[in-house]
Structure 1
Amino acid sequence: MTDGIARVRPGDLIRAEDFNLILDRLADLAERVTKLEGTPGTGAPRITGITPAVPRVGDEMRITGSDFGLATGAARVFFDTVVLGTFAAGSSDNLLVFQVPEITGLPDEGRPVVLQVSNRVATVTRTITVLPRLVAPGGRVDLIYDRPLAPRPIGGEEFVLAFRLRSRTGVPLTMDIVATVSDPLMQRGTQIRDSAMKPVRSGQVTVAANREETFFVALQIPARTPAGTRFSVSVRAKAPGLESAVGPLDFEVEAAAPIPDRDIQLNLDGADPPHVLDGTTITLPPGGFAEVVVSAVFERVGTYIIELSKAPGWGVDPSFPPGGFVIETTDLGLDGRARRPFSISLVAPGAGGPPVGLRVTGRKQDGAGSRELTLQLATA
């Protein structure tokens, strides 16, 4: 007897139970071989997806497919000659989850690696690019706020802020840029743009070792945003082991510039004494006096209002009529224009002070447009 199966000689009678016992032993042997060699079927594992497509050493990687042989312990993954036989929780015969192993000789830009998935019956092969592990560099990266490209945020217009990354490390770095705007409507349209003003969808900006790189944060101010609306912008730049931030930077939405009225011109004709005038800048000694002459030119009939802005610390006394200039048809000359000069008397502050702007505005009483002339008042 061997394992319950009787030996027979030529001419012996083979009973049904003896034959069934042989069949049982064969079925048991087939089951044990299947467990050792993998699942039945085609025998070949199949890959349907690899995430991420370009992994980095240390990343969690996921391979989807079928017939991986994990249930029988047959699953193996190879990166060139590096073999993995242990997989993370959640793995199955259709999903392998694991950490990308250390691979020697990877350059900064990565290199092609032969990826193999085996279940001991067959092996399937792919070639992928593997990047080296990210290592926090020494030194630091400074995030610097430069300037706005437009002097003021205006409803319905784009408002762009310029920033610089200044690297003090010996390696190139790719920084994740995150811009946060306090106003939710403005946040929706916020873009990160590279030094060529092209949108960067990934939000990443690369700065070379020990160099500077400019980037921009572009906001779209909604058209119906009221003048006086306040908002702030904060920007953060981050890479493994490095982080720098700026903000909050505070801004206020201003009213849109008025539409220029082509029927109005404002010209600076001169000053008395003449030497105080240089272009549109009037410079007086502390407590000094001067008079400037402005000509308003009108090309249509109507009533035109002249207004002056405030000039803190300065004495300002204009000679134009408070009710404006009334232009009749008979006032228009052969060239179709009417000229109305007026003077503005100026007295500088006795203690001097920083330069201030004096804005002269001309507008038609029933019109939407206007014209402006801005004078710079300074003391010396």
Structure 2
Amino acid sequence: MALKNVNPGDLITAVDWNDLVTELKALDGRVADLEKGGSKSPPRITKVLPEGTVMAGDQIRIFGNNFDFTRGGHSVTFGNSPAVNFANGSSDSLLIVQIPQQVDGATASGAPITMTVANLTGFTTWALTVKSKPEQVGGRFEFGYLNSDPKIPTANNPIDYHFRLASLSNADLAVLISPVLQFSGAPAVIVEVHDSDGQLRVDRTITLHEGEAKIISVKIPAIPNVPNGTNFGLTVTASASGVQPVTIIVPPQTVGQAGEEPDSTITNLTFSNILDGTATFQLPGPADTVDGILSIPGTTAAKVTIALDTTFANIPTGTPHHYVASATVVSGAGWTASRNPVVTPNEYEISAPGAQKFPGFDINAPADDSVPAFIRFTLTHKEAMINNKRSVIFRVQRA
């Protein structure tokens, strides 16, 4: 029964007073029940399941007696961290409880923690080994091709391909760099991975701390002894546990000729998400010569809008630079692709480093489900005359 608030000058009636007396009697009865009820002895633990090491956030079962669960007189703490979630099925002889997500003193390898179970009379303890819950890795990293040194690949000589690797994650990452060299007709060539300090990483793994950016290199110790004009390709994938991998295809390379280099102010151009329509995106396999594969389900004409992700760097603050987004169907009868004018302006004006944009593109799939398309998406730097583009090519197909 809810009691009414009383303001100065209000008349308190007999009904109001009797309601108050009724509430006090009910409260007194509940207190008396607690005082006379419940266990007369401290709780006793006979078994805890699962046995062995447990992890923060796990659910455990505590067997015993005198828990006073039915009267609400129970409590469980793990060190200094109280438990608040008790599952259905708990009773005075069984507590089904979730270990808190954060337990003071718990470590990744497991640490001794005292669990305390108490009732209205007393308490008892039980020794546990508790591991801290692994940190959920979030965010992503940027990975983009910069340039080569020397500019011209020459037979029997080394060449380094430089990449920018930058963390946008909430944790330190161990990034595996997986290069694939396509050199038709040439003997197998060992490709090396070097860290930003020039050190060879035999395991091809780069340590990338939270928020860190570094320049790494993929090195061909010696171009095979092939004639000038021989074409070859290099695809490099960066991957780490808990984040989306990124695959970069270096622009086509020719022995004896300088290759195209991406614009130095565009650090990356990668797939972001599906803005409209139904499609799935997957990274290329080792044998693929594209930057990604987009699958559109169905056999009728369909439209999908995708967004790419790009970040700009090396732009002096206060000096505007301008970029134009475009899409070109390299091959694929009946397919069309174009810049989406709603989410992507005619050009981006970038006046400071660090700006991030998500250019959007419309893809129109024909009803014919047998012909895939190869579509190039490009950002062009208007102020630069050469090496002024960054592009990706996706294979787009009906699923």
* TMscore range, shorter length: 0.3 to 0.5
> What TM-score, normalized by structure 1, do the two folds share?
0.33
Q: For the pair shown, which has the larger CA radius of gyration, 1 or 2?
A: 1
> What TM-score, normalized by structure 2, do the two folds share?
0.32
